[in-house]
C-alpha cells in the first residue's frame, strides 16, 4: 500500500524527518524505494540530468507523464509526486486542472507539484477541490530561472523574505499538503517551518525544514556539469562508471572479452555436419 499525503502530514506531526528524492526511471525508483525513501519526485530536473538541457524549461507534460509512468509502475509503497512543467498551468485555471488531471490519470502519480505562491493560490485551491493533492514550491523556482537571472538564493532581504512568508501562508491556506522551499536562507526556512502546519521540504534551505529533497543524480555523483552547493555527493558514480566503460572498451579491443564463460556452445558433430554440408546460410 502506498504512503499517502496523510502519512506525510503525520511525519511532521511526529517530528519525523521526511526524505524525498527524485526518480526518473525504473532503476532509480526501485533503488530509492528499497532504501526506504517514502516520497519520490518525478521532477522537471529531468530536462537537465536526463535530456541534457541547461534549464528545465524544455520539459513538456508528455515527458513528465512518460517518466512518471515508469516510476509508478515499478514502485509499490512510495508516494510519487509529478512535477507540472513550465507553462502547463499558467494560462488559466482550466488549463491547470486539465493538465494535472492528465498527469494523474495517465501516469498514476498520487500528487502533483507546482511552482508559485500567492499568485497560484486560487489554482491550488481549485485543484484540491477537484481531488488533486498539491505540493507547493516557493523560493528559487527553476521554471522562472530566466526571469530571476539564474539559480540564485531567494529571500535574503526584508522585502523578499516577507514576500516568501506571504507565499508560504497563501499556499497552505489554498490547501497544499506540503511545500518545497528551494534556495532559501536557513533562518527564514526555519521561520516558515515553525509557522506552517503542513510539512516543509527543503532543498538548499537548511536543516530545520521538516524534510529534504535532493536530485538523484546529484547525490550519486552522476551529474558532473554542475554540482549545487545544496547537495552532498554520497557516491562518485560517474567516475566509477567511466572506469568501467573504459575497461569494457579495452577488453573488446584486445579480444579479452567475451571469454568462453560469456559464450554459448553447440555440439561438435552439429557444426561438423554444417561444415561438411557446405551451408552458406542461403
Q: Per residue in 109-160, pLDDT tens?
A: 999 999 999 999 999 999 999 999 999 999 988 776 666 555 678 889 999 9
201 plus 267 within the same structural domain: no
Q: Across all residues in the chain, what is the average pLDDT?
A: 94
pLDDT at 203: 96
140 plus 245 within the same structural domain: no
Does residue 53 lie in a domain region? yes
165 plus 271 within the same structural domain: no
Asked if residues 166 and 117 have their Cβ atoms less than 8 Å apart, the reply is yes
Does residue 282 lie in a domain region? no
Q: How large a percentage of the chain has pLDDT more than 70? A: 96
Q: How buried is residue 29: exposed, middle or buried, by Cβ count under 10 Å (0-12/13-18/19+)?
A: buried
pLDDT per residue over 179-232, tens digit each?
Answer: 999 999 999 999 999 999 999 999 999 999 999 999 999 999 998 877 888 999
Asked if residues 37 and 31 have their Cβ atoms less than 8 Å apart, the reply is no
pLDDT at 154: 80
21 plus 161 within the same structural domain: yes
Does residue 195 lie in a domain region? yes
**Among 236, 252, 269, which residue terminates a domain?**
236
The predicted model gives 45-65 an average pLDDT of 95
259 plus 186 within the same structural domain: no
One-character DSSP codes across the chain: ----HHHHHHHHHTTPPEEEEE--SHHHHHHHHHTT--EEEE-TTHHHHTS--SSSTT--HHHHHHHHHHHHHH-SSSEEEEE--TTSSSS-HHHHHHHHHHHHHHH--SEEE--BSGGGHHHHHHHHHTT--EEEEEES-GGGHHHHTSS-----SHHHHHHHHHHHHHHHHHT-SEEEEES--HHHHHHHHHH-SS-EEEESS-TTSSEEEE-HHHHTT---S---TT---S--HHHHHHHHHHHHHHHHHTT-SS-GGG-----HHHHHHHHHHT----
167 plus 80 within the same structural domain: yes
In the chain, the number of structural domains is 2
pLDDT beyond 70 at 281: no
Give the position of cell 512568508.
165
The predicted model gives 93-99 an average pLDDT of 98
Active site residues: 182
Classify 202 in phi/psi space as left (phi over 0), alpha (psi -120 to 50) or beta.
beta
Which cell goes with 139?
523560493
pLDDT at 148: 57
Residue 183 belongs to domain spanning: 5-236
d(CA 141, CA 91): 18
216 plus 85 within the same structural domain: yes
Which cell goes with 62?
508528455
215 plus 266 within the same structural domain: no
pLDDT at 4: 98
Does residue 209 lie in a domain region? yes
d(CA 79, CA 92): 27
CATH of the domain at 208: 3.20.20.60
Does residue 262 lie in a domain region? yes
13 plus 147 within the same structural domain: yes
Does residue 148 lie in a domain region? yes
Query: Between these two residues, 256 and 279, which has the higher pLDDT value?
Result: 256
Does residue 247 lie in a domain region? yes
70 plus 136 within the same structural domain: yes
**Among 203, 218, 236, which residue terminates a domain?**
236
Reported pTM: 0.93
248 plus 132 within the same structural domain: no
How crowded is residue 243: how many other Cβ atoms within 10 Å of its Cβ? 10
Q: Where are the beta strands (DSSP E) in the chain?
A: 18-22, 39-42, 79-83, 111-113, 134-139, 178-182, 200-203, 211-214
pLDDT at 279: 60
Does residue 149 lie in a domain region? yes
**Cα distances (angstroms) measured from residue 35 to each of 21, 29, 70, 175:** 11, 10, 18, 30
100 plus 199 within the same structural domain: yes
pLDDT at 145: 67
Amino acid at each position: 500500500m502506498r504512503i499517502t499525503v496523510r502519512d506525510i502530514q503525520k511525519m511532521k506531526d511526529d517530528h519525523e524527518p521526511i526524505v524525498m528524492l527524485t526518480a526518473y526511471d525504473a532503476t532509480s525508483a526501485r533503488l530509492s524505494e528499497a532504501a526506504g525513501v517514502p516520497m519520490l519526485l518525478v521532477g522537471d530536473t529531468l530536462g537537465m540530468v536526463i535530456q541534457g538541457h541547461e534549464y528545465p524549461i524544455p520539459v513538456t507534460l508528455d515527458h513528465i507523464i512518460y517518466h512518471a509512468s515508469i516510476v509508478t509502475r515499478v514502485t509499490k509503497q512510495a508516494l510519487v509526486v509529478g512535477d507540472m512543467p513550465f507553462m502547463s498551468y499558467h494560462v488559466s485555471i482550466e488549463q491547470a486542472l486539465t493538465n494535472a488531471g492528465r498527469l494523474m490519470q495517465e501516469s498514476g502519480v498520487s500528487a502533483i507539484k507546482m511552482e508559485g505562491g500567492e499568485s497560484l493560490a486560487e489554482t491550488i485551491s481549485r485543484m484540491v477541490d477537484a481531488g488533486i493533492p498539491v505540493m507547493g514550491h516557493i523560493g528559487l523556482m527553476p521554471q522562472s530561472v530566466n526571469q530571476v537571472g539564474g539559480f540564485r538564493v531567494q529571500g535574503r532581504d526584508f522585502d523578499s523574505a516577507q514576500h516568501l512568508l506571504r507565499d508560504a501562508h497563501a499556499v497552505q491556506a489554498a490547501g497544499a499538503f506540503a511545500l518545497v522551499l528551494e534556495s532559501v536562507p536557513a533562518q527564514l526556512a526555519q521561520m516558515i517551518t515553525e509557522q506552517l502546519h503542513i510539512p516543509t521540504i527543503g532543498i538548499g534551505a537548511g536543516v530545520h525544514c521538516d524534510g529534504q529533497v535532493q536530485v538523484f543524480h546529484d547525490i550519486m555523483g552522476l551529474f558532473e556539469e554542475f554540482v549545487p552547493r545544496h547537495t552532498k555527493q554520497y557516491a562518485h558514480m560517474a567516475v566509477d562508471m567511466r572506469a568501467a566503460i573504459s575497461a569494457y572498451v579495452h577488453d573488446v579491443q584486445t579480444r579479452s572479452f567475451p571469454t568462453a564463460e560469456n559464450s554459448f556452445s553447440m555440439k561438435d558433430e552439429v557444426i561438423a555436419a554444417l561444415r561438411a554440408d557446405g551451408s552458406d546460410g542461403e
